[in-house]
Structure 1
Amino acid sequence: MKISREELYRRVWEKPVTHIAKELDISDVGLAKACRKHAIPLPPVGYWVKLKFGKAGSRPPLPKLAVESEIEIDARRYRLAPPVKADENEPKLVVVPQPELQAEKLSRFTAATRKKLLSTKPDRHGFLECSGPELFSCRVSEGTVEYAALLLDAVEKALPEVQAKLVKGEKALEFEHDGQRVSFRLFEQHSRAEAPVQDPFYKRLGGTEYVYTFTGKLSLEITSYFDGRKKWGDGARESLSDKLGSFVQGLVDAARALKKRAQEMEAQRLRWAEEARVREERERENRALEDFRQKLLAEAKASNDSQLMLAYLLRIQERLAESDTPLQKHAHEWLQRAQRIAEQTNPELRRVRRLTAGGEPDPFSGYFGRALI
């Protein structure tokens, strides 16, 4: 089909490119290419949102060409693809309607966040920052507050579709799905450059500071740590409002991934705890066996010592028997005391009585004057 430059210029500034493309039965990519090829300026990202609040700016004029001619749009090349019949077994994508700002109809958390942003003074770089247990985490400029409210309201209203909700977080609102929380934020895309700063009194003194330039484009980012897509933003060909369904699905995917990782970590923790219990039990048994061995060895040594003392006393008595010298009272007392000690310190008889008496024969309670249990 053919259309004049003036007509196409008029139409793309009256409605979004996506709407005009559908009317012409081509893709928005093909329409944008045709406009660039014939030097037809297109509205920037966020233009239609700003237009509602009278902040869109002036429309650039249509540049004049040396030779004016009609534009031929190759519908066969850029025609919209026919809709694919959905497979009932395929997971359904989240559909988020195009946002429309009506302050009196904003969702609860979006309204609170918008009110906070509008009442906040920008920092020295021009940022408005918003956070709190019942507020979205935002970092935008004054010119994009209403656009941010549009996006957040659309996201908040879409959450019931995926059986999710917003819950109070430590620093800001968090997305919750199937008991798993996901943190996210909204911020404005910007550029940063260094600028020299000169002291007003001493010319040789000075330094540099950062100067921020805002683009008017916003991005939504998942800040929870997981392996998966984390950022959606305004681009050259597609606005963030067209990606909200993908973002909400991304939040669901992040919640599932985080829950799976938490379950895996809990299973790993239980395995480690069981391994530690088995290891501790084995070590306890080894310590008990070593303690038994040491006490058994001490008992055997006590028996050897007792036998050594008895043999020593026997040799003394044999020598005394060969002597004609009568023993004094203190000598008899010494021999009796030594004999008694040698017999008392021998654990053999007590161990035999313990083993034949029934009950638990293992315990050791001590030697040399302390009765064995």
Structure 2
Amino acid sequence: MSIHLTRRELYEMIWTRPMTKVAAQLGISDVALHKICEKHRIPAPGRGHWAKVAAGKPPKRVLFRDVSDPLVDRILIQGSSAAKLPPEVQEARAKVKAEREKRQTKPPLPAQSGQSDHPVVARLVKKLEGAKADKDGFIRLTDPKLFAMTISPAAAARALVIAERLMTCAEARVCRFDSDPGGLVLVADGESMTLHLVEQTEKVRHKPTDAEVNALRKWEADRVRRQQRGQWFGDWDKPAIPEWDYVPSGTLVFELDRGGGWDGLRRRFADTKRKHLEDMIDDVFDGALVIATARKAKRAEDARRREESEKEAQRRREAERRRVLHQKRVEVLDAQIEVFARASQIDDFVEDYLARHPYLDLPESCRRFIDWARGYAEALRRTASPETLGAKLDAHQLMDDATEIHSWVRVV
């Protein structure tokens, strides 16, 4: 949902109501609203402003100043995608949040990583003990019976603690883990979703190795020799020395339901300054339950749309059937009108001809022609007799409103 505002409109909003309420109305966070105000040079109420208002001593507003730049004056706010979530998903988010606030106890931390009796943890201990890091310094696990991991050897101890807490918390949250070729998947409320433990990287300036420096010097010396000999040379085979290295940072991240889409739901849980990933296991399961609700809501919505689409297609087919049926009835009617009109024309011709030329005075051939014309008119009328017309209508079921028209061939 996009919202277009001017600086003056947003200024009036934030000086009329607290910014937290204005942000909620716009579908963004109060931090995002503060940044928008700074970017567009909109003075905002300071700390304690609304407390003074509540005490009956409202401070004066900061003067609003117009700007000449139209790009600064126009504000486009892209609301959070979470605001577009179905009601049942928003309700699930509120429910897990309330339950998390009520929850007083946490799954017990093992005294020492690797001491859990759970077979997954025991298997993980053995796997990490024998694992070797790749050239980039990471261990990559994709065992169907273990969690998918991309971590450095230094993070192995934390990975074991996290695995133990996952197993302990899963039992309390009525969730489970199933095997999958890429690693264990989390099953929450009947919905299966991937779970990856990843260690982030940090960018550090690359220090060239002796081998890289020697390779570059050798290439440059070879280029000088080619140049002196007048030989062709290019840079396509020049040894490349990277400017940066990407090394393990020690920051661990859970990626839940990888590739799940941009729907405003939380799928990423990372270490912060105040909270480590080991203490976010409950948050991971809460997120999984909300994702499960969202999936079910999406399937229900998709089913509803498919049903509505099928109904609309059926309505179009029915309208087309009725149109074709009406068209075929009109074709039969036009044919009958044509037959009767032709017979009437013949009768008029015969009557007019005999009025001018008495029948007995006509030559034999003319009398025979007049008699044939009268018979032809009568034959035309017989083709439109109730018996003939009824048989034709019944053969094609044209007067049955529920009949199916399978052919575009003319009935007549």
RMSD of aligned residue pairs (Cα, Å): 3.9
Structure 1 residues 349 and 292: alpha-carbon distance in aligned structure 2, compared to 1, 3 A threshold: same
TM-score, with structure 2 as normaliser: 0.56
112, 119, 122: which one pairs with 1:111? 122
- In the TM superposition, what is the alpha-carbon distance from 1:337 to its structure 2 partner? 7.0
Contact 1:217–1:234, Cα closer than 8 Å, also in 2: yes
Counterparts of 2:301 and 2:253, CA distance in 1: 36
Structure 1 stretches lacking a partner, 5+ long: 1-86, 369-373
Contact 1:117–1:145, Cα closer than 8 Å, also in 2: yes
Partner residue, 2:102: 91
- In the TM superposition, what is the alpha-carbon distance from 1:125 to its structure 2 partner? 0.8
Partner residue, 1:346: 384
Q: Give secondary structure in 1 for the equivalent of 2:363.
A: coil
- In the TM superposition, what is the alpha-carbon distance from 1:328 to its structure 2 partner? 8.1
Counterparts of 1:329 and 1:117, CA distance in 2: 116
Structure 2 stretches lacking a partner, 5+ long: 1-97, 224-237
Contact 2:194–2:257, Cα closer than 8 Å, also in 1: yes
- In the TM superposition, what is the alpha-carbon distance from 1:354 to its structure 2 partner? 9.4
Contact 2:155–2:250, Cα closer than 8 Å, also in 1: yes
Partner residue, 2:176: 165
Code of the residue aligned with 2:219 in structure 1: it is: Y
2:292 corresponds to 1:281: no
Counterparts of 2:391 and 2:141, CA distance in 1: 83
Partner residue, 2:253: 219
Aligned length: 276
252, 257, 265: which one pairs with 2:285? 252
TM-score, with structure 1 as normaliser: 0.61
Structure 1 residues 220 and 93: alpha-carbon distance in aligned structure 2, compared to 1, 3 A threshold: farther
Partner residue, 2:150: 139
183, 200, 213: which one pairs with 2:194? 183
2:364 corresponds to 1:326: yes
More helix by share: 2
Structure 1 residues 308 and 234: alpha-carbon distance in aligned structure 2, compared to 1, 3 A threshold: closer
Deviates more, 1:329-338 or 1:142-151: 329-338
2:323 corresponds to 1:290: yes
134, 149, 152: which one pairs with 1:123? 134
CA-to-partner distance for each residue in 1:230-268, whole Å, 9 max, x for gaps?
A: 444445555444x1xxx2222222222222222322332
Counterparts of 1:231 and 1:172, CA distance in 2: 17
Percentage of matched positions with identical amino acids: 19
- In the TM superposition, what is the alpha-carbon distance from 1:287 to its structure 2 partner? 1.8
- In the TM superposition, what is the alpha-carbon distance from 1:223 to its structure 2 partner? 4.2
Q: Counterparts in 2 of 1:24-63, with a 5 A limit?
A: none
Structure 1 residues 354 and 212: alpha-carbon distance in aligned structure 2, compared to 1, 3 A threshold: closer
Structure 1 residues 260 and 239: alpha-carbon distance in aligned structure 2, compared to 1, 3 A threshold: closer
- Could you say which structure has the greater relative contact order, defined with CA pairs below 8 angstroms and 6 or more residues apart? 2
Counterparts of 1:221 and 1:327, CA distance in 2: 102
Code of the residue aligned with 1:338 in structure 2: it is: Y
- In the TM superposition, what is the alpha-carbon distance from 1:155 to its structure 2 partner? 1.9
Partner residue, 2:63: none
